[in-house]
């Protein structure tokens, strides 16, 4: 009898424990969120994702962002676009479910229903119109205006249907609409507090902006009211950590999870670590040495050509970049539509360089300033170039600046010679050619060479309206050859994008534009 009673008591206790566990699970909002977001390897929703980076963002308003490190904070996270690139760089629906080109000048878009901005404002055709009207308004003063400047009118048909009328045909339209420049902003913010968009972004994305401690960190939180599949983490913090060694140590210890700015000198250490992983992918970006063509002595094409002959680019790829990336021949990656292998960069020829300097009247030497950001590889490249140019009588003073200050400097036009890169966000050559070399893009939009050539301008615009891909390719080839003849820049490297991440992180990747794709990331 005693044994039977004990069996009854144990059975009753087991039932009570199961009931209590069921109640506990049902009362936890975090557990409900986890149930909504299953992963293939078990329940891993929640937690904070820490991304460490060299520099802070320069701003968070897509109509004024001109650098991918800043866009990386908000693009696809806080802000969304009408359409997006999938993993294979094909167009996929996002805020628009369908689109149709009616004729060369007319595009119709069907918009997703039931979407709200983070401030509660409904997403509809009026919001699309408010966004593009602001971007295209000259009073706004957006450096991104010309990227969509061919839009002559945004027509609202009803809440879910909008038409873009173009003044001229524009072949890369969809690629721009899928990029950060095509971000759809809250119409309430546009109408009431547009100045706050630089520091307080409001979109429809899977993350909601929380805070920005300037020079320290930017925090985004999970959007629990997101219209699509919710992100797995509760928050993501973009933390500024200037020291390369500190960033890596934080990744290795688990204090931080991801860094998309990896020193090439640390690749072996990462690959040998049992706590860190390296992500590598071919990119759309190109690195180069640029000349301010309006500043002496670089207003003289022979000086620019002399420098071009005197830089041994192969030595930079192997010595500075440890063969990460490939030798560039133009300011356009082989991954980008419009690239041509037929345009040749200046070969290394010291004697030719000296001869050109003499013809330019600088046979007794010349002193120049080379500007670079504080990224380790850029500083190392500057030192190699300084050494190489000394051999032809060019005395180079290296000027290193923090990234935000560097951007302001090259946009002000006071620099002489500079090291830079251009990250193509669309995969289309117009993004390189119009932004880097058209006279309308001088300054903040991207033409930090301050280069103006009417023939090149004409070719770039011609390529924009040409719908035949083979003809567009030929036009870009012509433009790039003229730019090379004018020695506007020295192409150095086609990017290979690198990121390091801790073993706790799963389902992370970079895309070809170097954007962090965080929607499916989990942290163990």
Burial class (CB in 10 A: 0-12, 13-18, 19+), 313: buried
Decide if 83 is inside a domain: yes
Question: How many domains in the chain?
Answer: 2
pTM of the shown model: 0.84
* pLDDT for res 261: 87
Neighbouring C-alpha atoms within 13 Å toward the C-beta of 273: 19
Say if 415 falls within a structural domain. Answer: yes
Indicate whether 356 and 481 sit together in one domain. Answer: yes
Distance CA 446, CA 434 (A): 9
Instruction: Locate all alpha helices (DSSP H) within 402-453, ordered by sequence.
Output: 403-412, 429-437
For residue range 70-109, what is the model confidence (pLDDT) as tens digits?
Answer: 999 999 999 999 999 999 899 999 999 999 999 999 999 9
Q: Cα separation of 262 and 51, whole Å?
A: 12
Q: Note whether 522 and 233 are within 8 A (CB).
A: yes
**Does residue 17 form part of some domain?**
no
Q: Is residue 191 part of a domain?
A: yes
Residue range(s) defining the domain that contains residue 189:
79-198
With contact defined as beta carbons under 8 Å apart, do 502 and 252 qualify? yes
For residue 367, the model assigns a pLDDT of: 97
Indicate if the alpha-carbon torsion angle 341, 346, 348, 352 is positive or negative: positive
- Residue where one domain finishes, among candidates 165, 183, 198: 198
pLDDT tens digits, one per residue of 303-330: 999 999 999 999 999 999 999 999 999 9
Examine the fold and report which residue of 181, 198, 215 is the final residue of a domain before the chain moves on.
198
Same domain, 184 and 292: no
47 φ, ψ to 5°? 90, 170
Whole-number pLDDT of residue 112:
98
- What is the rounded CA–CA span in Å between residue 132 and residue 116? 18
Residues of the chain with pLDDT under 70: 1-44
Pair 45, 37: CB distance under 8 Å = yes
**What pLDDT score was predicted for residue 506?**
96
Q: Which residue has the tokens 């003499």?
A: 358
245 located within any domain: no
Q: Kindly state whether residue 236 falls inside one of the protein's structural domains.
A: no
Q: What is the CATH number of the domain that holds 126?
A: 3.90.76.10
Q: Residue for token digits 């000086």?
A: 303
Rounded distance between C-alpha atoms, residue 472 and residue 252, angstroms: 47
pLDDT of residue 376: 92
Do 287 and 182 belong together in one domain? no
For residues 288 and 194, state if they share a domain. Answer: no
Nearest to residue 414, comparing CAs of 401, 433, 395? 401
- pLDDT for residue 450: 98
pLDDT at residue 44, rounded to an integer: 63
Q: CB neighbours (10 Å) of residue 180?
A: 24
Q: Is residue 322 part of a domain?
A: yes
- Residues 310, 194 share a domain: no
Structural contact between residues 303 and 362, judged by C-beta atoms closer than 8 angstroms = yes
Same domain? 323 vs 432: yes
Specify the CATH number for the domain of residue 352: 3.10.105.10
* 259 within domain boundaries: no
Q: Please give the pLDDT value at position 45.
A: 72
Mean pLDDT for the chain overall: 91
Spatial contact of 204 and 81, defined as CB atoms under 8 Å apart: no
Interatomic CA distance for residues 181 and 185, integer angstroms: 11
250 token code pair: 């934080």
The CA–CA distances, whole Å, from 69 to 16, 220, 351, 480 equal: 54, 16, 40, 26
Domain boundary among 198, 223, 252: 198
Distance CA(101)–CA(82), nearest Å, equals 14
Q: Running DSSP on this structure, what letter comes out for residue 197?
A: G
Q: Are 381 and 265 in contact (CB under 8 A)?
A: no
DSSP-derived secondary structure for 444-493: TTSBTT----HHHHHHHHHHHH---HHHHHHHHHHHHHHHHHTT-EEEEE
The confidence score (pLDDT) of residue 46 equals 86
């Amino acid at each position: 009898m005693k044994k039977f009673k004990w069996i009854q008591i144990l059975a009753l206790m087991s039932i009570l424990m199961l009931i209590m566990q069921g109640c506990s699970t049902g009362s936890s909002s975090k557990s409900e969120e986890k149930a909504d977001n299953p992963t293939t390897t078990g329940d891993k929703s929640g937690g904070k994702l820490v991304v460490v980076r060299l520099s802070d963002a320069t701003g968070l308003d897509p109509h004024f962002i001109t650098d991918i490190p800043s866009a990386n904070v908000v693009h696809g996270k806080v802000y969304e676009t009408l359409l997006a690139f999938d993993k294979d760089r094909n167009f996929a629906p996002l805020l628009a479910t369908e689109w149709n080109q009616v004729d060369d000048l007319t595009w119709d878009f069907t918009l997703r229903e039931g979407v709200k901005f983070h401030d509660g404002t409904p997403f509809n055709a009026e919001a699309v119109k408010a966004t593009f009207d602001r971007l295209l308004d000259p009073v706004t003063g957006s450096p991104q205006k010309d990227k969509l400047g061919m839009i002559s009118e945004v027509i609202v048909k009803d809440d879910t249907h909008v038409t873009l009328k173009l003044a001229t045909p524009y072949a890369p339209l969809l690629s721009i609409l899928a990029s950060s420049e095509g971000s759809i902003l809250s119409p309430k913010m546009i109408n009431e507090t547009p100045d706050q968009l630089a520091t307080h972004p409001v979109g429809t994305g899977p993350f909601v902006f929380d805070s920005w401690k300037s020079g320290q960190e930017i925090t985004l939180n999970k959007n629990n009211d997101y219209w699509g599949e919710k992100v797995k983490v509760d928050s993501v913090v973009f933390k500024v950590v200037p020291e390369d060694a500190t960033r890596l140590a934080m990744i290795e210890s688990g204090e931080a999870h991801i860094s998309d700015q990896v020193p090439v000198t640390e690749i072996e250490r990462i690959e040998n670590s049992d706590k860190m992983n390296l992500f590598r992918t071919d990119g759309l970006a190109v690195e180069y040495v640029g000349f301010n063509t309006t500043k002496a002595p670089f207003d003289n094409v022979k000086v620019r050509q002399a420098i071009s002959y005197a830089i041994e680019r192969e030595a930079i790829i192997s010595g500075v970049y440890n063969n990460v990336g490939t030798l560039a021949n133009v300011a356009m990656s082989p991954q980008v539509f419009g690239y041509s292998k037929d345009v040749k960069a200046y070969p290394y020829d010291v004697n030719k360089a000296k001869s050109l300097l003499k013809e330019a009247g600088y046979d007794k030497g010349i002193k120049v300033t080379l500007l670079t950001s504080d990224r380790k590889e850029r500083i190392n490249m500057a030192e190699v170039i300084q050494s190489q140019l000394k051999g032809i009588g060019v005395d180079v003073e290296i000027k290193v600046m923090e990234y935000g200050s560097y951007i302001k400097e090259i946009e002000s036009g006071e620099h002489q010679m500079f090291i830079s890169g251009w990250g193509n966000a669309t995969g289309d050559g117009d993004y390189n050619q119009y932004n880097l070399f058209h006279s309308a893009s001088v300054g903040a939009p991207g033409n930090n060479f301050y280069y103006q050539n009417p023939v090149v301008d004409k070719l770039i615009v011609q390529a924009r309206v040409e719908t035949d891909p083979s003809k567009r390719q030929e036009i870009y080839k012509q433009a790039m050859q003229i730019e090379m003849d004018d020695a506007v820049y020295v192409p150095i490297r086609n990017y290979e994008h690198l990121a390091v991440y801790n073993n706790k992180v799963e389902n992370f990747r970079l895309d070809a534009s170097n954007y962090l794709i965080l929607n499916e990331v989990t942290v163990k």
